[in-house]
Homo-oligomer: A and B are copies of this chain.
């Protein structure tokens, strides 16, 4: 049961990141992004991946690994397209 709740939570929190990612990729509009906060979030979700590995909890590992990917992509786009 816990696994189901964790997977559902992970899917929803991951999905909620997609609109911003799609908007940035499509429009290359990085003005609204805060690089400092992306880095803070990137370190945070990376630590959640470490936490998930230490606890062997796949819902935490997978959803936060996805978040690492999303935020690494946002940071890359910011560095490429900032004015």
Q: Which residue of B lies closest to A11 (CB)?
A: B44
Interface of A is mostly: helix
Chain A to chain B: the 6 pairs with minimum beta-carbon distance, closest first? A12-B44, A9-B47, A13-B44, A16-B41, A9-B48, A16-B40
Identical subunits present? 2
Is A13 touching B54 in the complex (CB atoms < 8 A)? no
- If A9-B45, A12-B47 are given as contacts, then 13 extra A-B residue pairs at C-beta distance below 8 Å, sorted by A number, are A2-B51, A2-B55, A6-B47, A6-B48, A6-B51, A9-B48, A9-B51, A11-B44, A12-B41, A13-B48, A16-B37, A19-B34, A60-B60
Chain A 36-72 interface 0/1 with B at a Cβ cutoff of 8 Å (1 = within):
0110110111011011001101011000000000000
